[in-house]
Amino acid sequence: MKLDAKIPEGPLESKWTKYRSKVPLVNPANKRNLEVIVVGSGLAGSSAAASLAEMGYKVKVFCFQDSPRRAHSIAAQGGINAAKNYQNDGDSVYRLFYDTIKGGDYRAREANVYRLAEVSVNIIDQCVAQGVPFAREYGGLLKNRSFGGTQVKRTFYAAGQTGQQLLLGAYSALQRQIGMGNVQMFARHEMLDVVVIDGKARGIIARDLVTGNLERHFGHAVLLCTGGYGNVFYLSTNAMGSNVTAAWKAHRKGAFFANPCFTQIHPTCIPVSGDHQSKLTLMSESLRNDGRIWVPKKAGDTRHPNDIPEEERDYYLERRYPAFGNLVPRDVASRAAKERCDAGFGVGNSKQAVYLDFKSNLINKYGRAEAAKLGIQNPSMEKLIALGKEVVKEEYGNLFDMYKQITGEDPYEVPMRIYPAVHYTMGGLWVDYNLMTTIPGLYALGEANFSDHGANRLGASALMQGLADGYFVIPYTIGAYLSSEIKTKAIPTDHPAFEEAEKNVKSTINQLFSIKGSKSVDYFHKRLGKIMWDKCGMARNEKGLISAIDEIRALRAEFWKEVRVPGSADEFNPELEKAGRVADFLELGELMCVDALDRKESCGGHFREEYEEDGEALRDDDNYKYVAAWEYKENTQWNLNKEDLVYENITIAKRSYK
Amino acid sequence: MSGTMNLTLKVWRQKNKNDKGAFATYQVKDISPDMSFLEMFDVLNEQLISKGETPIAFDHDCREGICGMCSMYINGRPHGPLKGVTTCQLHMRSFHDGDTIVVEPWRAQAFPVIKDLVVDRSSFDRIIASGGFVSVNTGNTKDANNILIGKEDADEAFSAAACIGCGACVAACKNASAMLFVSAKISQLAMLPQGDPERKRRAENMVETMDEEGFGSCTNTGACSAECPKEISLEHIARMNREYFGAKFTSQNVK
Ligand SMILES: Cc1cc2nc3c(=O)[nH]c(=O)nc-3n(C[C@H](O)[C@H](O)[C@H](O)COP(=O)(O)OP(=O)(O)OC[C@H]3O[C@@H](n4cnc5c(N)ncnc54)[C@H](O)[C@@H]3O)c2cc1C
Ligand code: SF4
Ligand code: FES
């Protein structure tokens, strides 16, 4: 199949404005007859659902948590980017566009990224209008902080709880539409299949997680806003329920899956403490604004960090990347941490950790600034620390508390121990400029699509993309499709395609119960995670990937023979939910390895050990400057389709942060 | 392993909302102090699955104290013994070898039990749907820096907006009142210019929905704020009362 990204003609700067004003409209009377299903209530889903309902469409929203407000967007910490240039530091739409393409190691689509940078400014306006309490200066203006991979301050934030505040804004807009009767909400529901009729997406099969009933829902269009699939690694910063099921079912029905191997491993997470570990916790990238990363210069140094003098510390990021220092992009920082730990310089019990130290900024940056403000002459060290603490508390208080809760150590006193962990998936369902997948009428928004981040996402850009997709892109682009659907009457859900889809879902569920094996779902999930982390994680090589594919196949076969799912299908049954999700991860994991094996280059988060130069990723633009869009054949066989990436506005270059 | 614990757990088991429910007793061994409370439950559930028993249903998702999904009533206190900490962020180092721990669901008329430790909190969503928003459609805005908000007001609004909607305040209250939750939203929006035009309607509608949903009345015991994992302040209740009575006093929306 020839992939058509449907990128509008014309100069980059005017593509979107021109397209937006020419996209066919649906008149208000017709909108009331058009039904849109939105699966997911995170930033992408809530913002899309609220906006579409405001425009007059009939909307149904689904999420598996007990309330739309609990989608994992709630956990985003550090901030959201926007090219407002409020700091007068030279930011612009072009610069945000450029930083994003470069940060993504030249593997993203120019037109989409430019549009993202363009609408970023509207997002902040929208959120503020909703009452989102962003951080402010004394004068009442909005405040900004810096994030990795950029040299301007363009990140808006609310302490370490930016995702929470943005999601509560979108949630309140959604609740307003629910209250007005324009949106029907289905919480504690899980989508288990898409229904395709005459080649178009026409609805979904969902399971009511409380009663266990399977339900059929019709929609003229279906939007998947179901988040990322980082939990294929078992341990990640995602929520326990985050999964790939919705996207995977769509993939099996014909939606191409793009760049599945592009995974973001975040450099600053709390390290694993034991086998009981169920998830990993992020320490926001914004902390790298104020924390310095180091390991001891001496391998195997067991001294307490506070006893290691300044000259015996190796601030390896500052040493290797003087221009960006601690603010290099995530993939670079993660690999550098792994390199130091593998070489024997790691700290803590496991030796799989490095220090993130706030002491010098507590004292020098904040302590001295506060002392100067208060007119304190020659402040003592204690005074400086106390003053600095106050500022840091305000900026990141909840993160410091979280760290202390989890590790039992006080990061105001002792440097944090951190290590990279799986955090975000750049890969996802392939979409065109309209955000439509290869199934007409089926859209993917937010982290669920393969998106705008290429091979590596810059910090604070996922929140921006989720809200851009939902508030400002889909409300326009969906018109291109729905304007030709106004004559389609709602299809009754006794249509054979609905019957068939429901029957398949039911038979999978029955099959899971019928195995009555001896091992729990988590047993398989942990094993899959280990294979993925060891062989398709921060560093990959041909041999490892080939053996990972075999191991995953064997594990999948074992799962379908040995898994034990307790209870029954007609009740609230979290083990059944997990089993279905892990079954899908066991297929996705294989595709990720297939993709990683196929891409014989290193770029962004995809680091193939065979392709490097002085420890830096070695891209191969002649052969791999494409989006790998995988088409599902049967029995986990895939066809590769390539979307060539054309750079007309950016000269592609070796990515350097030195 | 040294430093690990053996514990007795008394856990509320209830098949579904119609079942009467009862406590069941379990033993768990070799619990590491570094485990979270929910990881200890994972261990117990794995044990139950391997014995062919039904694992205990409990709500959780983010496991980092922000989604508001986890909701265990531990030894008579919502979210357990620590101040300002959700169930998922409670770690086993807060317990001792040999302890008996009693775990129940939130108990409130407006939060019916779905299964075991899982309750239905959709009443909170309906309260928000009745007024917990600013009526602004997408795109209907001006440049963000045209709305000036002093830092103190922004900080205060933020501290109210930090509520995670967990319902511990209701579970802690002997009257099962939702005042702290409702006041946090009313107060956040009342402090911001964006929320001003609708402040009367908002207060009236949200309070009315709260009453309809079957939450009890507030008798100012302060248990809610003391047990709130986000330490939402009682001042918001005072502010809400001003908003509400102010609204009633001048209401054009007499019901
Ligand atoms: C700890 C953490 C911190 C982060 N910090 C930042 C940050 O500071 N800045 C930034 O820009 N990005 C950050 N990110 C990334 C960002 O938060 C996410 O990429 C983004 O929020 C994803 O939003 P979403 O709407 O696509 O999906 P989500 O918010 O994950 O929502 C997914 C929705 O889909 C529903 N769902 C999924 N599957 C199904 C199904 N089968 N049936 C029904 N419903 C389903 C869920 O119920 C949920 O409502 C962070 C991520 C994490 C994990
Ligand atoms: S006020 Fe506190 S206890 Fe009540 S719902 Fe909000 S966070 Fe939970
Ligand atoms: S699981 Fe999210 S707050 Fe506890």
Quote the percentage of chain A above a pLDDT of 90: 86
User: In chain B, count of helices (H) and strands (E)?
Assistant: 8, 7
The CA distances from residue A576 to A18, A137, A500, A563, B234, in Å, are: 48, 49, 21, 11, 41
For each of the domains in chain B, give its residue range(s) and CATH number, in order of start: 5-104 (3.10.20.30), 121-249 (1.10.1060.10)
Q: What is the dihedral of CA A284, A285, A286, A292, to 10 degrees?
A: 110
Domain that holds residue A294: 266-422
Could you read off the pLDDT of A275-292 as tens digits, one per residue? 999 999 999 888 888 899
Residue A304 lies in a domain: yes
Residue A44 lies in a domain: no
Q: Does residue A224 carry a pLDDT above 90? A: yes
Strands B22-31 and B73-74, bridge-based pairing: unpaired
The reported pLDDT for the residue numbered A127 is 98
Q: Which amino acid is at A510?
A: N
What CA–CA distance (Å, rounded) separates B254 from A15?
A: 52
Whether residues A283 and A400 share a domain: the answer is yes
Whether residues A415 and A505 share a domain: the answer is no
C-alpha closest to that of A395 among A155, A56, A104, A151: A155
Q: What b/e string do you get for A623-634 counting C-beta neighbours within 10 Å, with b at 16 or more?
A: ebbbbbbbbbee
Q: Which residues of A are less than 8 Å from B36 in CB distance?
A: 278, 406
The reported pLDDT for the residue numbered A334 is 95
Strands A58-62 and A263-269, bridge-based pairing: unpaired
Residue A388 lies in a domain: yes
Whether residues A408 and A550 share a domain: the answer is no
Residue A517 lies in a domain: yes
Could you read off the pLDDT of B130-151 as tens digits, one per residue? 999 999 999 999 999 999 999 9
What CA–CA distance (Å, rounded) separates B59 from A591?
A: 31
Residue A46 lies in a domain: no
Picking from A379, A399, A422, the residue at the C-terminal end of a domain is A422
Q: Do B138 and A471 touch (CB under 8 A)?
A: yes
Confidence band (pLDDT; 50, 70, 90) for A90? very high
The CA distances from residue A321 to A56, A89, A96, A277, in Å, are: 51, 22, 21, 33
Interface test with A, best of B4, B30, B61 (most A CBs within 10 A): B61
Q: Does residue A111 carry a pLDDT above 70? A: yes
Q: Average pLDDT in the B109-120 region?
A: 98
- Please enumerate in sequence order all residues whose Cβ is within 8 A of that of B15, keeping only pairs 6 or more positions apart, or say none: A571, B21, B115
Whether residues A418 and A519 share a domain: the answer is no
First-to-final CA distance of chain B = 65
Q: Which residues of A are less than 8 Å from B164 in CB distance?
A: 164
Residue A435 lies in a domain: no
Whether residues A388 and A509 share a domain: the answer is no
CA distance B52 to chain A (A): 7
Q: Does residue A258 carry a pLDDT above 90? A: yes
The reported pLDDT for the residue numbered B252 is 61
Residue A565: which CATH number?
1.20.58.100
Burial of A347 (0-12, 13-18, 19+ CB in 10 A): buried
What CA–CA distance (Å, rounded) separates A380 from B112?
A: 57
Whether residues A506 and A610 share a domain: the answer is yes
Q: What stretch of H or E contains B48?
A: helix B37-50
Q: Do A129 and B114 touch (CB under 8 A)?
A: no
A441 is written with which tokens?
């009428």
The reported pLDDT for the residue numbered A655 is 83
The reported pLDDT for the residue numbered B253 is 56
DSSP track, A43-54? HHHHHHHHHHHH
> Does residue A656 sit at the B interface (CB-CB below 8 Å)?
no
Q: Report angle CA A321, A327, A333 to the nearest 5 degrees.
A: 70
The beta-carbon neighbor of A405 closest among B32, B46, B91 is B91
> Does residue A465 sit at the B interface (CB-CB below 8 Å)?
no
Could you read off the pLDDT of B19-44 as tens digits, one per residue? 999 999 999 999 999 999 999 999 99
Q: How many domains does chain A have?
A: 2
What CA–CA distance (Å, rounded) separates A305 from A278?
A: 28
Q: What interhelical angle do A12-22 and A110-130 show, nearest 10?
A: 60
Could you read off the pLDDT of A305-359 as tens digits, one per residue? 999 999 999 999 999 999 999 989 899 999 999 999 999 999 998 899 999 999 8
What CA–CA distance (Å, rounded) separates A288 from A228?
A: 24
The reported pLDDT for the residue numbered B255 is 47
What CA–CA distance (Å, rounded) separates A3 from A80?
A: 31
Residue A302: which CATH number?
3.90.700.10
Print the SS3 string covering A600-643: CCCECCECECCCEECCEECCCHHHHCEEEEEEECCCCCEEEEEE
What CA–CA distance (Å, rounded) separates A334 from A269?
A: 10
Residue A85 lies in a domain: no
Q: What b/e string do you get for A363-393 counting C-beta neighbours within 10 Å, with b at 16 or more?
A: bebbbeebbeeeeeeebeeebbbebbbebbe
- Residues of A designated catalytic: 330
What CA–CA distance (Å, rounded) separates A123 from A338?
A: 36
* Mean per-residue pLDDT over chain A, rounded: 95
Whether residues A414 and A510 share a domain: the answer is no
Could you read off the pLDDT of A411-447 as tens digits, one per residue? 988 999 999 999 999 999 999 999 999 999 999 999 9
Picking from A422, A457, A489, the residue at the C-terminal end of a domain is A422
Residue A49 lies in a domain: no
Whether residues A407 and A533 share a domain: the answer is no
How many pairs of residues across A and B have Cβ atoms under 8 Å apart?
221
Q: Do B38 and A51 touch (CB under 8 A)?
A: no
What CA–CA distance (Å, rounded) separates A71 from A196?
A: 26
- Give me the sign of the Cα torsion angle A479, A481, A487, A491: negative
Please tell me which residue of chain A has the smallest CA distance to B143. Answer: A125
The reported pLDDT for the residue numbered B1 is 44
Q: Residues B154, A136: contact at Cβ < 8 Å?
A: yes
* Mean per-residue pLDDT over chain B, rounded: 95
Confidence band (pLDDT; 50, 70, 90) for B251? low
Picking from A367, A399, A422, the residue at the C-terminal end of a domain is A422
What CA–CA distance (Å, rounded) separates A588 from A232?
A: 8
The beta-carbon neighbor of B158 closest among A84, A159, A240 is A159
Distance from residue A194's CA to the centre of ligand 2 (Å): 36
Q: Average pLDDT in the B173-183 region?
A: 97
Q: Average pLDDT in the A583-593 region?
A: 98
Q: Residues lining ligand 3, judged by CB closer than 6 Å? A: B 60-63, 65-70, 86-88
The reported pLDDT for the residue numbered B254 is 46
The reported pLDDT for the residue numbered A285 is 85
DSSP state of A544: H
A80 Cβ inside 6 Å of ligand 1: yes
- Please enumerate in sequence order all residues whose Cβ is within 8 A of that of A561, keeping only pairs 6 or more positions apart, or say none: A515, A517
Could you read off the pLDDT of A465-501 as tens digits, one per residue? 999 999 999 999 999 999 999 999 999 999 999 999 9
The reported pLDDT for the residue numbered A397 is 81
Confidence (pTM) = 0.97
Count the neighbouring beta carbons within 10 Å of the beta carbon of residue B53: 14
What CA–CA distance (Å, rounded) separates A149 from A266?
A: 13
